[in-house]
Amino acid sequence: MKDFLLFLLLLLVLAGCRNEPKNAGAAGAVAEQPAAAPQDPGPQQPATAEASVEKKDVAPTTESRPAYTPPQSQDVLTITARSAQARPGADVCVAFQVKGFVNLLAMQYTIAWDPGVLEFKALNNPGLPYLDRADFGYNRLQDGLLPFVWINDALQATTVPDESVVFEVCFKAIGASGQSTAIRFQQQPTPFEVVNINEEIVKLEPVEGRVTIE
């Protein structure tokens, strides 16, 4: 009988073990961790307008001014290079005559020729106040170019009669017989400009000449 009771007690113990949940031991061994409270971010500061606007480099603005345009005169100055002939190896001078040279203060232009036909030699017979060799440029002679800039150094109006010769340019004829070259006016390197005493621009009408080797 005693043995039967012990056997029955053992069966009850085994039955109790079967009814226990599988995870009961783990749940009892590990304490539940309380959920972490969310951190207080503190008072949010409003976004500034500067933070939301992208900065861009802005070029400084400059006001553009129209270029100065000097007043224009109704007068016209005509300058003519007179034609001439020369024998091979001889010297020849080209006279420069003017028409409409009235109340002028300054003028400039460039004289051009074929350097294979004529070689520059000299300047003669200046016919304007303060006109001398310093009013001509000589660094382009090998190219057949003679820039010219004249101004009345006293800043006074200058008038000369029509058909007056204001200067002569002399050359040596180095080309062959039958050759010729135009004596022309061009705007490079020194552009056309004529100014009267009223600081007005006077129109320049150049007339080219020709030197022929006989």
- Give CA separation, 15 vs 6, 26, 29, 54, in Å: 14, 21, 23, 76
pLDDT of residue 19: 45
Report the distance separating Cα 140 and Cα 197, nearest Å: 31
* CA 137, chain centre distance (Å): 26
The per-residue pLDDT for range 136-149, each reduced to its tens digit, is: 999 999 999 999 99
Sorted by sequence, the CB contacts under 8 Å of residue 150 that are 6+ apart come out as: 106, 107, 108, 128, 130, 131, 135
pLDDT of residue 39: 53
pTM for this prediction: 0.69
Report the distance separating Cα 51 and Cα 53, nearest Å: 6
Report the distance separating Cα 205 and Cα 208, nearest Å: 10
- Please name which of 212, 190, 183, 187 lies closest in space to residue 97, comparing C-alpha atoms: 183
Degrees to nearest 5, angle at CA 176 with 171 and 177: 100
Judge whether 168 and 83 are in contact, CB under 8 Å.
no
pLDDT mean over 125-140: 97
Q: Indicate the pLDDT class of residue 51, thresholds 50, 70 and 90.
A: very low
Report the distance separating Cα 101 and Cα 140, nearest Å: 28
The per-residue pLDDT for range 19-35, each reduced to its tens digit, is: 444 444 444 333 444 44
Judge whether 136 and 124 are in contact, CB under 8 Å.
no
Q: Is 148 exposed, middle or buried (0-12, 13-18, 19+ CB in 10 A)?
A: buried
Domains and CATH numbers, the chain: 72-213 (2.60.40.680)
pLDDT of residue 58: 56
Average pLDDT of the chain? 82
pLDDT mean over 161-190: 98
Residues in the chain: 214
139: how many CB neighbours lie within 10 A of its CB?
A: 9
